[in-house]
Chain A
Amino acid sequence: MNIKNTILATAAILMIGSGSAVAQSPADLNDLEIAHVAYTADNIDIRYAHLALAISTNASVREFAEAMISDHNAVNGQALALLEKLGAAPQDNFLSQSLNETAEMLIDELSRLRGDAFDHRYAENELGYHKAVNDLVGNAFIPNIENAEVKALFEAGYEIFQAHQSQAESMVEGLK
Chain B
Amino acid sequence: MQITKREFLVNTVAAFAAAVFSRQARATSQSGVTHQVQIRNFQYDPEMIEVRPGDTITWTNHDIAPHTATAQDRSWDTGRIRRSQDGSVHVVAGMPTDYFCIYHPQMRGQIKLV
Residues of A whose CB lies within 8 Å of any CB of B are 63, 66-67, 70-71, 74-75, 78, 153, 156-157, 159-160, 163, 166-167, 170
Question: Is the CB–CB distance between A74 and B66 below 8 Å?
Answer: yes
Q: List 21 A-B contacts (CB under 8 A).
A: A66-B103, A67-B103, A70-B65, A70-B66, A71-B65, A71-B66, A74-B65, A75-B65, A153-B64, A156-B64, A159-B42, A160-B42, A160-B64, A160-B65, A163-B42, A163-B104, A163-B106, A166-B106, A167-B104, A167-B105, A170-B105
Between A67, A157, A170, the greatest number of chain B beta carbons within 10 A of the residue's beta carbon is seen for: A67
Q: What is the count of residue pairs linking A and B with beta-carbon distances less than 8 angstroms?
A: 44
**Chain A, interface SS category:** helix
Q: Choose one: B64, B80, B102; the contact of A63 (CB below 8 Å).
A: B102
Question: Is the CB–CB distance between B106 and A157 below 8 Å?
Answer: no
Question: Is the CB–CB distance between A74 and B83 below 8 Å?
Answer: yes
B82 close to chain A: CB less than 8 A: yes
Q: Choose one: B41, B103, B105; the contact of A70 (CB below 8 Å).
A: B103
Q: Choose one: A71, A78, A156; the contact of B103 (CB below 8 Å).
A: A71
Per the CB 8 Å criterion, the residue count for chain B at the interface is 14
Residues of B whose CB lies within 8 Å of any CB of A are 41-42, 63-66, 80, 82-83, 102-106
> In the complex, what residues of B have CB within 8 A of residue A163's CB?
42, 65, 104, 106
Question: Is the CB–CB distance between B66 and A63 below 8 Å?
Answer: no
Question: Is the CB–CB distance between B105 and A63 below 8 Å?
Answer: yes
Between A63, A70, A75, A159, the greatest number of chain B beta carbons within 10 A of the residue's beta carbon is seen for: A70
